[in-house]
Amino acid sequence: MTRQFLGLPTANLKWSQTGEPEDVGSGDVYFSANDGLAETKAVFLAGCDLPARWQQDDLHSIAELGFGTGLNFMATLAKWRKFARPDQRLHYIAIEGAPLSHEQLSRAHKAFPELKREATDLQQIWPDAVKGFHRRSVPGNANEPSIELTLLFGPVAEMLPQLDAQIDSWFLDGFAPAKNPQMWSEEVFAQLARLSRPETRLATYSVAGLVRRGLAAHGFEVEKKPGHGRKRQRLEATYTRSTANHQARLKPPDNVIVIGGGIAGACLIHEFAQVGVSVTLVEAQDLAAGASGNEIGLVSPRLDLEDSPLARFYRSAFAYACQFYAYSCNAAFNTTGILRKPANEEKVHKHWDLIANAALPKTLAELDDDGSSLFLKTGATLCPATAIARLAKPAKPIIASVKRIERNAGQWVVYGADKQMIASADHLVLALGAGELTGIELPALRLLRGQVSIGITQQHGIKVPMIGASYALGLDADRLLFGATHDRVEDPTCNQTTKQDHQRNLANLGILHPDLAEQVELSQLTGRASVRAASPDLQPLAGPVADAGKCGPWAKQFWGKLSDYSSAPMLDGLYLLNGLGSRGLTLAPLLAKSIVSEICGEPSPLERDARTALHPARFCARAARRQ
């Protein structure tokens, strides 16, 4: 049974006279009053032989248990900027069960004026306290090495098993084992081993016997070292085991083909460009010609009361999209807030429950003055065409209609009409939306036609978009966009507007905002219709494409025994990002990041169970099992 979400606790602090924070519950300190920065450098950076080990690879991954104030991260960031090459990438992953608020974080950072730039960067990208995974790109100059921060907000026993990464260095910096035993358990030590590579280094201030024994039992060679300050000893450890689970890290490909010029394809292009991968974009028409082509769209969260990996994915995807658009295409993005009006009594109670259970914290959501509507503070609007043009700029565009794809001599080859070859590459990502092609068996899609209406009003006054049974938002002072219809169709080209659908939209506007509906003349309505793609279970399709012809034997052997599809037979180098339905603007950024991370051998920004729920192979496996 799925648990109801009860919110995420935030840090409960008291402050010393000299400005050091202390956890009220455990009585433990976040950093030493005796030069906490020097302790960080001695225990964690030196303990993992950093920055010297950074020179070994183009990518280095650090994982920390107990992020706290971010002191270890900021010290690492300062060293990384000083010693890493411009072409190197650092992933810093950290788990925190009770995140500090923005105000607490800023106050704690005043103790380290020498890290002012790093503190400012961290505060700028710090997520709100929403349980789950939060990937953030750290601001930097063009000639500086790249760094990505992934914060796992939640209990370590829940979050660590959801992580999919290859860790090079571990910082164990939670509260002391006697005060925080859940972070130093056998289950946690087993997860450290699962995520480590041969020769992964580990550092911690704790020399407790249970820590030394737990690490040694799971493949770490442990050694005591002289401590720092008043601490007499500390630990360094090296992971010495090598099993079939520890595969060689993938290298980013030289080039990739992306088919589809909507928001999904554009986000893929942007993310590939961030890791230096060249992209060839193949699109049948102009950019944003399909479902992403409305004049304006909403970036809004799905409202869930569940505490499940999939529900956490939707919350994290919304938070990620807001930061992504604000930094990547700010001119197209506007944080207006969104007012969710209840369509019925059941929705009223859901809004109350969302606030009472802190499914979204007060920094993100609150009840409106009417006591039943929900005001989403960071909800936003996006001009898709402007955003897509900006995000897709690094790609080499080819305007052509793709008819067929084939795997030939280790390459994916894309063909147009009359078997004319369009492009080829090692990797191909399909972001087709409602488009069709042959040569490959893909999961079936539901085609959903949506029509929006645009009417002229007398100074409608809508500054904040509204969502109820339908939605409405202002395009400018006297133009109003509202709708949309949502009809299942068979024809992906049925994109002509109809008077009947304008009537339906106007009737729904009358329910949402009767005064505005009276101002709109049906005969003067214009609009746009397009067909969106959704999967049969209405969850996105994001990940590698399964080899349907080989799934039968696999499904019979492993059905019910595996928690993921990693052992399913896949088509080498072929990936799918589709089935986003009406949530494409909100979901595309994080799902594109997930696919690019998988192709390039980087830590996943998604929880493992969420990736399973969204994996395209789920339909292939179900079909094979039924047969």
Segments making up each domain of the chain, as ranges? 3-239, 255-290+387-444+537-546+573-602, 338-377, 448-529
Decide: 470 and 482 in contact? Cβ < 8 Å. yes
- Which residues does the chain have with pLDDT short of 70? 1-4, 6, 33, 243-246, 558-563, 625, 627
Contact, 365 vs 277, CB < 8 A? no
Calpha distance 442→17 (Å, rounded): 63
Q: How many residues does the chain have?
A: 627
CATH code assigned to 3-239: 3.40.50.150
Q: Where are the beta strands (DSSP E) in 112-179?
A: 132-137, 146-153, 167-172
Helix orientation angle between 209-217 and 186-195, rounded to the nearest 10 degrees = 40
The token pair that represents 274 in the structure block:
């961030």
Domain 255-290+387-444+537-546+573-602 grouped into CATH 3.40.50.450: no
Dmax over Cα atoms in the chain, in whole Å? 82
Cα distance between residue 388 and residue 366, in whole Å: 31
* pLDDT tens column, 304-345: 888 999 999 999 999 999 999 999 999 999 999 999 999 889
SS3 90: strand
Is residue 37 within 8 Å of 47, Cβ to Cβ? no
d(CA 499, CA 518): 17
- With CA atoms as reference, report the closest residue to 77 among 96, 95, 56, 50: 50
Cα-flanking dihedrals φ and ψ of residue 207, to 5°? -115, 20
Residue type, 514: P
CA 542, 548, 550, 553 torsion-angle sign: positive
Q: What CATH class is the domain 448-529?
A: alpha beta
Q: Which two tokens stand for residue 124?
A: 């700028």
Judged by DSSP in three states, 278 sits in: strand
The model's pLDDT over 110-121, given as tens digits with 9 standing for 90+, comes to: 999 999 999 999
Alpha carbon of 577 to those of 414, 585, 620: distances in Å? 17, 13, 16
The secondary structure element, H or E, covering residue 66 is none
Cβ proximity of 453 and 525 under 8 Å? yes
pTM attached to this predicted model: 0.95
Contact 251, 601 (CB under 8 A): yes
What's the CA angle centered on 35, arms 33 and 38, to 5 degrees? 140
Q: Which two tokens stand for residue 55?
A: 């020179």
